[in-house]
Amino acid sequence: MRNDIVNIIKKLNTIFNDELISTDIDEYVNKIIKNASIITLYENEMMCGFIAFYNNDVANKNAFITMIAINPLCQGKGFGEMLLKFSIDKLKLSNYKQYSLEVLKSNEKAISLYKKNGFNIFQETDTHYKMILDL
């Protein structure tokens, strides 16, 4: 699983001109494997994508998407939305109240996906939107 995640992130980071992950990818993957919930999606033994989210703020019931990544060979099949909805349902079952994320302003597909699923922009920087969903 780890190598599959690394490979997808490297492919996507190239597409986004190294703006997707600005830190060492191997260290980032080690961090999410250690601290985040990860849901993977495989088709014919190929990882098509994953969602990694932090749901360790149990006291406040807030969760944070650190990444949804879909293998470029699998994009356009609804896998991102499937992973997002699955994570939302999981958080609702655990009575979480909010789900937030940061997304590159240039990532129009992701922004559209998040808006379609109820996320709203609540803050922005020069390069990113911060979005939130009340669960």
Residue 60, domain CATH: 3.40.630.30
- Judged by phi (left if over 0) then psi (alpha if -120 to 50, else beta), residue 33 lies in alpha
**Number of domains into which the chain is organized:** 1
Nearest to 46 by CA among 14, 24, 79: 79
Give the domain range for residue 7: 2-134
pTM metric for this prediction = 0.93
pLDDT tens figures, 79-128: 999 999 999 999 999 999 999 999 999 999 999 999 999 999 999 999 99
What pLDDT score does 6 carry?
Answer: 95
